Amino acid sequence: MADYQETTDFNSYVALGDSFTEGLNDPGPDGRYAGWADRLAQLLAAQRPAADFRYANLAVRGRLLDQVVAEQVPRVAEIRPDLVSFCAGGNDILRPGSDPDEAAERFEAAVLELRRHAGRVLICTGFDTRGIPLLGLLRGKIATYNGHLRAIADRNDCAVADLWSLRAVHDRRAWSEDRLHLSPEGHQRVALLAARSLGLPLTSAQDPDAPWPAAPELSVAEQRRENLHWAREFLVPWVGRRLRGESSGDHVEAKRPELSPL
Per-residue pLDDT tens digits for 169-202: 999 999 999 888 999 999 999 999 999 999 999 9
Looking at the fold, whether 26 and 146 belong to one and the same domain comes out as yes
Looking at the fold, whether 240 and 177 belong to one and the same domain comes out as no
Looking at the fold, whether 100 and 129 belong to one and the same domain comes out as yes
The pTM for the full model equals 0.91
> Is residue 262 domain-resident?
no
Q: What span, in angstroms and rounded, lies between the C-alpha atoms of 52 and 31?
A: 25
Q: What is the per-residue pLDDT across 243-258, written as a single tens digit (0 to 9) for each?
A: 677 677 677 899 999 9
Looking at the fold, whether 145 and 220 belong to one and the same domain comes out as no
Looking at the fold, whether 150 and 56 belong to one and the same domain comes out as yes
Query: Residue 140 sits in a domain of what CATH number?
Result: 3.40.50.1110
Structural domain that includes position 59: 12-214
Looking at the fold, whether 60 and 162 belong to one and the same domain comes out as yes
Q: What is the per-residue pLDDT across 62-71, written as a single tens digit (0 to 9) for each?
A: 999 999 999 9
Q: Work out how many domains the chain is built from and give that number.
A: 2
Looking at the fold, whether 120 and 222 belong to one and the same domain comes out as no
